[in-house]
Amino acid sequence: MNLEKIKSDIEAAVPGCRLQIILNGSPSGQHSLLLGREHAVEIARFLRDDPELRLDYCSNVTGVDWLDSETSEKVKVKKLVDGVEQEVEEVRKTRTPGYLEAVYHLYSMEKKHGPLVLRLRPENRTDHVTLPSLTPVWRSAEFQEREIFDLYGIIFEGHPDLRRILMWDEFEDHPMRKDYVEPNDYEYEPTPHDAVLEKSKQARAIEGQR
Amino acid sequence: MDLELKEALSRQGIFTTTLEELYNWGRRSSVWPLTFGLACCAIEMIATSMARYDLARFGAEVFRPSPRQADLMIVAGTVTKKMAPQVVRLYNQMPEPKYVIAMGACAISGGPFKQGYNVLKGIDRYIPVDVHIPGCPPRPEALMDAFITLQKKIDAQSLTGADRPRHLNAEEPSEFIVPQYGAHDLEPPKNVKLWNIITKNIPNGPGTASDNEPRKD
Amino acid sequence: MEMIAPAAQELIPNNAAATGDDALLEISLGPHHPSTHGVFRMDVVLDGERVVKLKPVFGYLHRNHEKIAEGASYLASMPYTDRLDYIGSLTNNWAYALAVEKLAGIQIPERAEYIRVITAELTRLQNHASTIGFLTQEMGASGSPLMYSFREREKILDLFESLTGSRMMCNYMRFGGCRVDLPAGWLDQTRKVVADFPGFLDEFERLLEGNEILLARTQGVGVLSRELAIQAGVTGPILRASGVNYDIRKVDRYGIYDRFDFRVPLGEHGDVYDRYMVRMLEMRESLKILEQALRDIPSGPIMDTKTKIRGFRPKAGEAYGRIESPKGELGFFLISDGSPNPYRYRVRPPSLINLTVLEDMCLGSNVSDTIVIFGTIDIVLGEVDR
């Protein structure tokens, strides 16, 4: 399947949609297509019903959490040092804000081809975490989107039954996020080592303060 | 009863016994386990009750689905925090005398999944365990060994005296706290009374800390 | 009766309607229930004996496999994959190894490919055998059929044990090949087991196929339509029982499955009986593959020499690899950021997604049929909740 062609097909079928090809550096060569949120459901319908593509089977749906990242690069800049213009190396830092992501892997049972990888991104990872649900298009996303809601906290609009699936209803955190801190119940470990040793030391220090 | 006299009588064809022996013999020879599988170890538990290993040889083939009819709980598999309240509730529903075998690394300590946020680090935080079997999963032979160990333990229990088992002591509890689902963890995260008994002999273990005493502040 | 009546009243959502004919009863099947294959729970609303609503409740075995794997190296996750679908650990190994091999572009030697096919097909045999045993147990044939199937399962587990050192948690495959070579005489033992297995299938078929109770309990029960099966992403024997020809061994031709001559059994009606029959026929096809693989297996290395197992750091990127596990499409989705640990590690569990259609299949049937329908989906909780 040619991703460029699929992209132009979608653009012809759903006018005004935002699409971007995300390249994948691994030898697997599974490049993906980033969809704009506004037209995601329309695009999904097109992919499912288009007689050439017929991606009728949504296999895998999952979330990914990308934290804020900082990349630093050395840049040569011309600067006035002591009144003389010199070329000085400067470290420039670029901060990429973190985001959440939902990834869909599509196959076709009729045409027996695939996978086509779709990505959807909410605006940020704190307060605007909504995405349109693709469960009305592929029902196989039902439990998997619930799982993303449970573990990553992405709210899927239009999902028929969006509840926590793996953790209990009273639970408040989203444990698969990279910055989740789990409850410290390591108060005793027969042979503590590495990270567990640190945790048990901390726990004992807290115990001592009380 | 005098052991020599008993033996002399048995050589004459007269069999004598004590109430204690009879009572323990009866109980150890027909332990009814609860049909209670949690994870991988449950498959080995099923394999143990099948033809090749045949747990029936030890009088324990009657797996009961209802806790009201069972007297042995084999905690076979990972106890998650979501499942822990149900495990304790099932234990509370079993009639005394009741025993617990913690089968496999997960039931003992969380095992390979110990780092998990939803994994209980050992079922003995909430209920008392009689026999622990290590292994991931333990082989059927290991489960049978644990079972024989439990039978020996039942055999050695006395009916009277200070060291009589829990079910014959009216002051000992037969029900334990059922944890509640909290916002971040189970409430309480462990049964402090029970956990202290287990860990008090370990140097620097939590049992030595003043967990159980009222806080001064 | 006085004892039971008040308690039953409490469960009914609307007490006022409790005396009328339209009284609904809400019950919770599980998480401790002898026929839910572990700690699965169904919230069922009953109208008399008829199911009018059924909501599965998950998470009682959610042991954070994905989170743990994101903090561990690629190699360290291999033994955890054994514990996903704990009936068939070798297929899980293969799916994970395949995903990592895609991620890093690794080719594996010929002999390792053959060993993978042999172990995976043996896993399929023992999985289907025990599934059918459990299914008949759920229909009320308590004990005997399960004993028959576990007798056969033990023979295959013996092979696994002599090969990998463990009955259930094999931890055998590595990215780039397999961990150890076959022990002496293993192929002959396997040939013997494979030669004897049709006898078991014949015996089972003789006992079950014409059995009137089995036919009455399975035919026309829990029908799953072809369209719904595709729409809900159902895979594995359940999908094929609904008549969809989709077997990843044929579609992706991963490994060396294109070299073997085998057919994909398909059902016609999509009911419980078809699912049972598809599994029985799949075992015969697996035996065919095994015979060919055992005949053709070459000698040679079992590990790709260029692959570094320890300190393995694939390039940044992502890959989704999938295989046909006994339960359906088992996939692993990995994202690497160039570090020794995967940045994202995701398991696509066939058991969980196959449960999407549970409510649709059960609506309108009796509670006793619900248990049978649930049994034919063939789930393992370790994989559903991960």
Chain A to chain B Cβ contacts (< 8 Å): 40
Strand segments, DSSP code E, in chain A are 19-22, 32-35, 57-66, 69-81, 84-96, 99-107, 116-120, 130-132, 155-157
- Distance (Å, rounded) from C-alpha B41 to C-alpha B156? 28
User: Is there a domain that residue A92 lies in?
Assistant: no
Q: Are residues A59 and A160 in the same domain?
A: yes
Nearest CA in chain B to C67: B116
Q: Are residues A199 and A122 in the same domain?
A: no
Measured between alpha carbons, how far is residue C384 from residues A155, B15, B106, B217 in Å? 22, 56, 18, 46
Domains and CATH numbers, chain C: 6-57 (no CATH), 65-384 (1.10.645.10)
State mean pLDDT over A71-92. 76
Q: Are residues A113 and A55 in the same domain?
A: yes
Residue in B35, B36, B80 nearest the CB of C63: B80
Residue in A60, A112, A176 nearest the CB of C331: A60
Lowest mean pLDDT among B131-135, B203-207, C186-190: B203-207
Pick left, alpha or beta for residue A17 (phi over 0 → left; psi -120 to 50 → alpha; otherwise beta): beta
Q: Say if the Cβ atoms of A166 and B182 lie within 8 Å.
A: no
Looking at residue C13, what is its pLDDT? 47
Residue-wise pLDDT for C275-333, tens only, equals 999 999 999 999 999 999 999 999 888 888 887 777 788 888 899 999 999 999 999 99
Q: Are residues A107 and A192 in the same domain?
A: no
Q: Are residues A124 and A202 in the same domain?
A: no
In the predicted model, is pLDDT for residue C11 greater than 60?
A: no
Q: Say if the Cβ atoms of A25 and C315 lie within 8 Å.
A: yes
Nearest CA in chain C to A168: C59
Q: Say if the Cβ atoms of A139 and C356 lie within 8 Å.
A: yes
Residues of chain B in contact with residue A175, where contact means CB-CB under 8 angstroms, are 117-118
Q: Are residues A116 and A209 in the same domain?
A: no
User: Is there a domain that residue A31 lies in?
Assistant: yes
Q: Are residues A49 and A113 in the same domain?
A: yes
ipTM tops 0.90: no
Pair of tokens at residue B185 = 């963890």
Lowest mean pLDDT among A179-188, C84-93, C167-176, C332-341: A179-188
Looking at residue A189, what is its pLDDT? 52
User: Is there a domain that residue A93 lies in?
Assistant: no
User: Is there a domain that residue A88 lies in?
Assistant: no
Residues paired with C236 in a beta bridge: none
Query: Higher-confidence residue: B195 or B104?
Result: B104
Domain that holds residue A17: 3-66+99-174
User: Is there a domain that residue A83 lies in?
Assistant: no
Pick left, alpha or beta for residue B136 (phi over 0 → left; psi -120 to 50 → alpha; otherwise beta): beta
In the predicted model, is pLDDT for residue C82 greater than 70?
A: yes
In the predicted model, is pLDDT for residue B207 greater than 60?
A: no
User: Is there a domain that residue A86 lies in?
Assistant: no
- Distance (Å, rounded) from C-alpha B156 to C-alpha B151? 9
DSSP letter for B126, please. Answer: T
Residue-wise pLDDT for B20-56, tens only, equals 888 888 888 888 998 888 888 888 988 898 888 888 8
In the predicted model, is pLDDT for residue C22 greater than 70?
A: no
Q: Are residues A118 and A206 in the same domain?
A: no
Looking at residue B124, what is its pLDDT? 86
Q: Are residues A136 and A58 in the same domain?
A: yes
Residue-wise pLDDT for C142-171, tens only, equals 778 888 888 889 999 999 999 998 888 888
Pair of tokens at residue B26 = 């009866």
Question: How many structural domains is chain A composed of?
Answer: 2
C277-315 core/surface letters (b: 16 or more CB in 10 A; e: else): bbbbbbbebbbebbebbbeebeeeebbbeebebeebebe
User: Is there a domain that residue A8 lies in?
Assistant: yes
Residues of chain B in contact with residue C64, where contact means CB-CB under 8 angstroms, are 113, 115-119
Pair of tokens at residue A150 = 């449970």
CATH code for position A130: 3.30.460.80
Q: Which of residues 133-192 of A touch C (CB under 8 A)?
A: 138-144, 164-168, 175-176
Q: Are residues A19 and A115 in the same domain?
A: yes
Q: Say if the Cβ atoms of C353 and A109 lie within 8 Å.
A: no
Q: Are residues A169 and A130 in the same domain?
A: yes
Residue-wise pLDDT for C238-278, tens only, equals 999 999 999 999 888 888 999 999 999 998 888 899 999 99
- Give yes or no for a contact between B103 and B150, defined as CB atoms under 8 angstroms apart: no
User: Is there a domain that residue A45 lies in?
Assistant: yes
Q: Are residues A62 and A129 in the same domain?
A: yes
DSSP letter for C19, please. Answer: G
- Distance (Å, rounded) from C-alpha A48 to C-alpha A56? 5
Q: Which of residues 117-176 of A touch B (CB under 8 A)?
A: 166-173, 175
Q: Say if the Cβ atoms of B137 and C169 lie within 8 Å.
A: yes
